[in-house]
Structure 1
Amino acid sequence: MDTAKILIVEDEFIIAKGLARKLEKLGYQVVGTIASGEEALSQIEETDPDLVLMDILIEGEMDGIETATEVLQKFKIPVIYLTAYGDDKTLQRAEQSGCYGYILKPFKQREVHAAIRMALSKHQQELATI
């Protein structure tokens, strides 16, 4: 795969920009940092990312899990959650969304990099079997 295009959906500007810089240093192309689910869906149509990193608590009418569910169903793009929420109710909702990963904040750069690689690989394998 060429350089993977990643969309970051994170309502905390400093976290989003810091993550974008780290991902770009790792060789990824960040196609946007978005704060709401509605903006994310619009941005996906414009930029066609390979993967979405999604916070659960975001701005707008939809939370990150609702947004991720729509991303997975409508666009078939893998989503990895980056969130501070690790309670059982949230985990259960996330599991049901079909996500490709779940990383608790604060996270380490290597954790995110490994999760992205695994998600992209799994997604490519799934596409090959269709």
Structure 2
Amino acid sequence: MKGAQILVVEDELIVGMMIKLKLAKMGYCVSCMASTGADAVAMVEKVRPELVLMDIRLKGSLDGVEAAMMIRKISNIPIVFITADSSLETRERAELACPQGFLLKPFMDEELGSLVRSVFSNSMGGASAVNANI
């Protein structure tokens, strides 16, 4: 779904900008960026993006999993977790938020593109989880 509006939630500015640039090269629109879980929830309410790419470890009072659970209460928007933490504990906790996918850092551009395409195609015909590099 080229041109789809995507929210990137990443507390490291350089990483967030890198993801934004990669998505732009693929034809996607990063309509907004957030660096905290609270900002992510507010952006979803205000902008209504079509996909959220969320880091799990965020600065502030809400981490990515907690923010995703709050988003789930107000929207059925697809959420993909992007994380460097591949531990079973983190994965099991993240599953509570019913994400549409996981992407393990560091990742290749092709993995990001494939995951985003898969999520958009699944959201058009019924959601299912998509995983890359985990």
Q: Could you tell me the TM-score, scaled by structure 2's length? A: 0.89
Question: Over the residues paired in the alignment, what is the CA RMSD in angstroms?
Answer: 1.4
Cα deviations by residue, 1:81-123 (Å, 9 ceiling, x for unpaired): 1111100100101122100111110011111111111111212
Instruction: List gaps (5 residues or longer) in structure 2.
Output: 128-134
How far apart are the structure 2 equivalents of 1:48 and 1:32? 10
- The aligned counterpart of 1:26 is 26
Higher relative helix content: 1
Identity %, equivalent residues? 36
Checking the alignment, whether the CA contact within 8 Å between 1:72 and 1:79 is kept in structure 2 is no
Per-residue CA deviation, residues 4-40 of structure 1 (Å, 9 max, x unaligned), is 1100000000000111011011100101121001101
User: What amino acid is the match of 1:103?
Assistant: L
Q: Which amino acid aligns with 1:11?
A: D
- 2:88 alignment partner in structure 1: 88
Structure 1, unmatched stretches of 5+, are: none
Counting matched residue pairs gives 127
Q: How far, CA to CA, are the matches of 1:94 and 1:45 in structure 2?
A: 21
After TM superposition, give the deviation of residue 44 of structure 1 in Å: 1.3
Q: Which runs of 4+ in 1 moved over 2 A?
A: none
Contact 2:11 2:34 in 1 (8 A): yes
Q: What TM-score comes out, normalization by structure 1 length?
A: 0.91
- Secondary structure at the counterpart of residue 103 of structure 1: strand
CA pair 59-69 structure 1, distance change in 2 beyond 3 A: same
